[in-house]
Chains A and B, each alone.
Chain A
């Protein structure tokens, strides 16, 4: 079983739609949950960061963690063509250095 499972998509939505991206993970000891966005020919950039369960909102983006079901989500409201990218979820333990375990990434296309 993979440590982090993520549907690779691609996901295609019209501009203005609400987008839901999801990952599941296998180890209940993970404590930190992140979403990265990766544009073509670029490295991933940190989008959202959550510790433990709950919701976190930043503008049009909401990250949600449900530790009881080992499920993490990213919601994008009022999606824009500039949101077209690959979104990667990542999890980690607490520890001396930060070892992240990534999902495979979901490719999102928002069309005008």
Chain B
């Protein structure tokens, strides 16, 4: 596979569930990102990992927990979410500061 792959594509979970989103990049990039995309709002940066170290956490509630075990994989662990957390969660990767991102297709999350 090439590019950035996200699984699952769709996820419906109850507020008491625990689930994880997975992202894998096959591009040899050194930075990975989680973004949240809600209707009619700009993409919201959640977490940044550069060289496997978390370098940014934009005041994201603790019910979202990222994990980056190596430079190719990124996870977002979810627990006790709220209905307002329903959104498209996008993973992206990049190489260096002068290049744009490559995005995955996202996970459409619905919290019921």
Contact = CB atoms under 8 A, between A and B. Distances in A.
- Chain B interface size band reads 20 to 34
B90 A97 contact: no
Contacts of B43: 44, 88, 102
B21 to A, nearest CB: 13
A98 B105 contact: no
Interface residues of A, number: 30
B101 interface: yes
Interface stretch (A14-22, A45-53, A68-76): A45-53
Contacts, number: 71
Contacts of B90: 43-44
Contacts of B48: 97, 99
Interface of B: 4, 6, 30-31, 40-43, 45, 48, 50, 55-56, 90, 92, 94, 96-106, 108
